[in-house]
Amino acid sequence: MKSLFISMGILSILTSCFVGKSKKVDPSTVQKTNSSIYDIQILSLNGKDTIQFSKFKGKYIVVVNTASECGYTPQYKDLQEFHTKFKDSGVVVIGCPCNQFGEQEPGTPDQIGAFCQKNYGVTFTLTEKIDVKGDKQHPLYQWLTKKSNNGAGDFEVKWNFNKFVISPEGQLLYYFGSSTKPGDADFLNVFKKS
């Protein structure tokens, strides 16, 4: 029994290292920067259409790095339900396919789109497949993860399905790790206060 509790404790520590802990940004520590989320553009999943974040001024933006072959992939269903519930209340969900964690997003854009539609009925915005860390980190994630850009804090994307919430004024508000689902109270409370 003792070894079971030790094993569970080690698993808990490893899981928290993998998925990251949720963090609310303290508004009193936010610094002014010359960078804005609204300056960022990214290609859509089809690689042709440009998603301009400036079009989302006045709305909450939820950015999630996604993958089709991950233990957290069922969160696509949760994200779709969240999108359906809040899309008319000024909330935008943007999924960013990424193959950097366990190579769990190996598909082509067509394969990713078909998988998301067939299995989860995804209608929220999906971007091109990007890097969310490292030398080829997309400018979107450079903004989300670096205090010098977002003014709020430095964050590390540790696994698939990390969630960043940006306020209607373009301020980074929250970072949620992989284990926080879009239907969890901590996550939903961010939007119920608006």
| Residue 15 pLDDT exceeds 90 | no
CATH of the domain at 25: 3.40.30.10
Q: What's the structural domain count of the chain?
A: 1
Is there a domain that residue 12 lies in?
Answer: no
Among candidate residues 70, 96, 98, 116, the one labeled active-site is 70
pLDDT tens by residue, 45-61 = 999 999 999 999 999 99
Note down the domain range covering 105.
19-192
Q: In this prediction, what percent of the chain has a pLDDT beyond 90?
A: 80
- The model's confidence at residue 33, banded by pLDDT at 50, 70 and 90, is confident
Is there a domain that residue 79 lies in?
Answer: yes
pLDDT tens by residue, 114-153 = 999 999 999 999 999 999 999 999 999 999 999 999 999 9
Contact, 43 vs 51, CB < 8 A?
yes
| Residue 4 pLDDT exceeds 50 | no
| Residue 181 pLDDT exceeds 60 | yes
Is there a domain that residue 64 lies in?
Answer: yes
- The model's confidence at residue 12, banded by pLDDT at 50, 70 and 90, is very low
Is there a domain that residue 134 lies in?
Answer: yes
**Higher confidence at residue 163 or residue 193?**
163
Is there a domain that residue 36 lies in?
Answer: yes
Check residue 26 and give its pLDDT.
64
| Residue 98 pLDDT exceeds 70 | yes
> What mean pLDDT do residues 155-183 have?
96
Is there a domain that residue 111 lies in?
Answer: yes
- The model's confidence at residue 34, banded by pLDDT at 50, 70 and 90, is confident
Q: Is 70 a catalytic residue?
A: yes
Average pLDDT over all residues of the chain: 88
Is there a domain that residue 131 lies in?
Answer: yes
Check residue 32 and give its pLDDT.
76
CA–CA distance, 108 with 111 (Å, rounded to integer): 5
Is there a domain that residue 11 lies in?
Answer: no
Q: What are the distances in angstroms from CA 92 to CA 60, 82, 125, 184?
A: 6, 10, 8, 18
CA–CA distance, 187 with 135 (Å, rounded to integer): 30
Packed helices 75-86 and 109-120: angle between N→C axes, nearest 10 degrees: 70
End-to-end CA distance of the chain: 47
